[in-house]
Amino acid sequence: MDEPLFSPHRPVSTEPLRMYLAKHLSAEDIDWIAGADYGRAQAELAAGFRSELAGGPYGHMEHEGNAYECCTLMFFSAKPLHRLFAAWWIGTFCSDERNVVLIENMSTHVDRYVSYWGFRALVWELAAACRELGPAAVHASLPFIAYLYPLDGMIEDPMTHENKLPFYRKIVRRLAAIESKGG
C-alpha cells in the first residue's frame, strides 16, 4: 500500500506559510513587490499585502494596482522570498472558483522538455523557492501544498486528478528530505 501523500499529523492550511512570510519579509520587500505593477497604486498594494500578511482579509479593492500582476512578476525575482510570497498570495487569494482560472492559466518551463501548467506551475515555483530558503521555509510550505492539492483539478482538463499524484508525491518527498536535514 502506498504511503499517504501528506502526513495525517501535518495541518492543511495557508497559515504556517503566511506566518513565515510575515516574519521574514521586510517593509522594503513588500514595497518592492507592490511596485512591480509599474508603481501604480504602490502604497495601496503594499498596504493590502501587509494587511493580508497580518491575517486580515483580501486587501486589494478599489485602486488601479494589480496585485496578481505584481505577484506573477515576482516569479522572475532573484530573491526566493519574493517568489515564495507570490506563490502564497496567488494560491491563497486566487484559488476560489471565481478566480481559479488565474492559476490554471499559469505556466512554468523547467527546461526545454518539461513545462508545468496551473496549480503544478504554482507548486513548482513554491518548491524552487523553498529549496533555496531551506528547512524552515519547507516546514511552513508543506501544509500549503496540502491545501492546494485538492484544489488542483477544479477546472477540468485532460489529465485527471489521480494522474497529478506522481508530481505532488515527487515535490513533497524532495521537500520533506530538505525539511528533515535541519531547522
pLDDT tens sequence across 121-156? 899 999 999 999 999 999 999 999 999 988 887 665
Using a pLDDT cut of 90, give the percent of the chain over it.
Answer: 44
| Residue 21, domain member (yes or no) | yes
Domain tally for the chain? 1
| Residue 9, domain member (yes or no) | no
Looking at residue 38, what is its pLDDT?
Answer: 79
Distance CA 145, CA 17 (A): 10
| Residue 7, domain member (yes or no) | no
| Residue 1, domain member (yes or no) | no
Q: What is the mean pLDDT of residues 163-183?
A: 85
Where is pLDDT greater, at 60 or 46? 46
> What's the alpha-carbon Rg for the chain, to the nearest Å?
16
Distance CA 58, CA 48 (A): 7
| pLDDT above 60: residue 161 | no
Question: What torsion do the CA atoms of 101, 104, 105, 110 make, to the nearest 10 degrees?
Answer: 160
- Angle in degrees, CA 44, 50, 55, rounded to 5: 130
Of 4-8, 60-64, 77-81, minimum mean pLDDT range: 60-64
| Residue 5, domain member (yes or no) | no
Looking at residue 94, what is its pLDDT?
Answer: 87
User: What confidence tier does 110 reach under pLDDT thresholds 50, 70, 90?
Assistant: low
For 50, the domain range is 15-180
Distance CA 60, CA 48 (A): 6
Per-residue burial over 92-104, b = 16 or more CB atoms within 10 Å of its CB, e = otherwise: bbbbeeeebeebb
Looking at residue 109, what is its pLDDT?
Answer: 66
| Residue 173, domain member (yes or no) | yes
Q: What is the mean pLDDT of residues 89-117?
A: 78
| Residue 137, domain member (yes or no) | yes
User: What confidence tier does 1 reach under pLDDT thresholds 50, 70, 90?
Assistant: very low
Where is pLDDT greater, at 123 or 40? 123
How many residues appear in the chain?
183
| Residue 139, domain member (yes or no) | yes
